[in-house]
Structure 1
Amino acid sequence: MSARPGRWRRWRLVVAGVVVLTVTATVALVLAYPSVAATTCPRCYGLTPVRDGLYAEPDLPDADRQRLIEVYRDASQRVDDFYQGRESDPTVLACLTSRCYRRIGGGGERGIAIRDRALMLSPRGISAVIAAHELSHVELHARLGSRRDEVPQWFDEGLAVLVSDDRRYLAPPTAPDRCRDAASGPLPETLDAWLRAAGADEQVYARAACRVHRWVAAHGGRAAVLDLVDRLRRGERFDALVGD
């Protein structure tokens, strides 16, 4: 028993429509969010594997490839040490030229984390400190899961400074007080507010790092962060656990 010709024509039109919508949506995603598309398919943007999960421009000199591997290894170790292991396994896109970074959707930042799945490093961000900062964001988001939006941006950023041991914003661990800027007052809670504040005064990182460092030190060290994550995942509120 065969289907009617009209029915087949209708099905072909439906299938064609679905294909067109899918292609249109994909093109729109690539144009609107090239960083998401690039981290999903690094090869589509001309990047090649340097090692598992780490991509960069093709035909790099051996010295540059080794430098990337060492930066990634050092950054990963900093995050491993702080979190006592990692639950995240992000894709890392590293660009040694501005042209490459613009192509994958980067801007003027040194690096950027894409939620809990990837990060991108600009030519100015090829360092263990910057890579560890972004890996810290990814790790925290991965551990929090659906509760990641419960953590205000100032805590996320201050924690990333602490994990990466960024000496621009924190004194060395041997200092009597690691805080470089202990000014009080509210800190930005949303990403948009943080970006505006950091654009106007980069020392907002130092103030956030100081607040996080002092909270961590007063609550038992690194284990306090792991406990905080567990309690947040169980449904407790950040404000009740940390304050503002």
Structure 2
Amino acid sequence: MIKKLSLVLILTSLPLLAWSFVKPVRLLFPHLNGMKCHNSVCVEHTKEMEKAEELYGSAFDAVSSAGIPLRSKPIFVYCSTLECYQSFGGGYERAISYPFLGTVIAPASWQSYITQHELIHWFQFSEIGAVATMMKPEWFREGMAYSYSNAPDSDIPEHYLPLMERYNDWHSKKSWTEVIEQAGEL
């Protein structure tokens, strides 16, 4: 009886422990972390929803119009406070994508090009695989994301410029099917 009770106690406390210590897990149920959600977009305050949905929609359209076949619309949490961003596991980066869970956008990063950048990572996760993507060279992962983000040159860290150039040279005139197939060889 004590073994069964202990097992029940452990199994019921695991979700609470995960919620408390593995902050990205909160993306599974962002509304339980105080977010207001509509479709794939979540915000802290309902009044921010229209702006966040516009950012998400325009970024999704821009990525799709570049010929990049997005198969799903991942959850994007747009935080307006640092506390929100950190509550989902964010740190000093401008945005962060967690494979299988979603993306969190930092308060100062509500730009379409940052959402586009993160959508490219989602394309990589879905087409190449999350673990396989993380094993690819940085010039491939970040070079592709910056190349298709439409970020202004002034907002691209200088050390990423050669990565973009290397990715663009490698991609050249390849179709997306060829890019995915040949990414496996990297």
Q: TM-score range by the shorter chain?
A: 0.7 to 0.9
Look at both structures and tell me which one has the larger radius of gyration over its CA atoms. 1
Query: By how many angstroms is 1:109 displaced?
Result: 1.5
In the TM superposition, what whole-angstrom CA distance separates every residue of 1:174-207 from its partner, at most 9, and x where no partner exists?
xxxxxx9xxxxxxxxxxxxxxxxxxxxx322212
Name the % identity.
Answer: 20
Residue aligning to 2:162: 207
Counterpart secondary structure, 2:153: coil
Question: Which ranges of 4 or more aligned residues in structure 1 deviate by more than 4 Å?
Answer: none
Q: Which has the higher contact order (CA 8 A, sep 6+)?
A: 2
**CA 1:116–1:151 in 2, change beyond 3 Å: closer, same or farther?**
farther
Residue aligning to 1:5: none
Inter-partner Cα distance in structure 2 for 1:18 and 1:81: 51
Instruction: Say if 2:148 is the partner of 1:152.
Output: no
- AA in 2 matched with 1:28: L
Residue aligning to 2:106: 122
**CA 1:97–1:150 in 2, change beyond 3 Å: closer, same or farther?**
closer
Counterpart secondary structure, 1:237: coil
- How many corresponding residue pairs? 185
Q: Is this contact kept in 2: 1:91–1:118, CA < 8 A? A: yes
Correspondence 1:134-149 to 2 at 5 A? 134-145=118-129, 147-149=132-134
Inter-partner Cα distance in structure 1 for 2:134 and 2:90: 23
Residue aligning to 2:60: 76
Correspondence 1:164-243 to 2 at 5 A? 164-168=149-153, 202-217=157-172, 220-221=173-174, 223=175, 225-232=176-183, 236-238=184-186
**CA 1:123–1:149 in 2, change beyond 3 Å: closer, same or farther?**
closer
| Equivalent residue for 1:29, pick from 3, 18, 22 | 18
Q: Is this contact kept in 1: 2:79–2:85, CA < 8 A? A: yes
Inter-partner Cα distance in structure 1 for 2:136 and 2:148: 16
**CA 1:230–1:216 in 2, change beyond 3 Å: closer, same or farther?**
closer
Q: Is this contact kept in 2: 1:113–1:119, CA < 8 A? A: yes
Counterpart secondary structure, 1:30: helix
Task: Name the Cα RMSD after superposition.
Answer: 2.3
Inter-partner Cα distance in structure 1 for 2:138 and 2:12: 35
Instruction: Say if 2:9 is the partner of 1:54.
Output: no
Counterpart secondary structure, 1:164: coil
- AA in 2 matched with 1:55: C
Inter-partner Cα distance in structure 2 for 1:133 and 1:65: 20
Instruction: Say if 2:95 is the partner of 1:111.
Output: yes
Query: By how many angstroms is 1:20 displaced?
Result: 2.0
Q: Please give the TM-score of this superposition, normalised by the length of structure 1.
A: 0.68
In the TM superposition, what whole-angstrom CA distance separates every residue of 1:1-49 from its partner, at most 9, and x where no partner exists?
xxxxxxxxx3xx34322222223432332233212x2211101100011
Q: Is this contact kept in 2: 1:117–1:138, CA < 8 A? A: no
Query: By how many angstroms is 1:68 displaced?
Result: 1.0
Query: By how many angstroms is 1:161 displaced?
Result: 0.5
**CA 1:21–1:151 in 2, change beyond 3 Å: closer, same or farther?**
same
5+ residue gaps, structure 2, are: none
Residue aligning to 2:33: 45
Counterpart secondary structure, 2:97: strand
Inter-partner Cα distance in structure 1 for 2:100 and 2:163: 21
- AA in 2 matched with 1:100: C
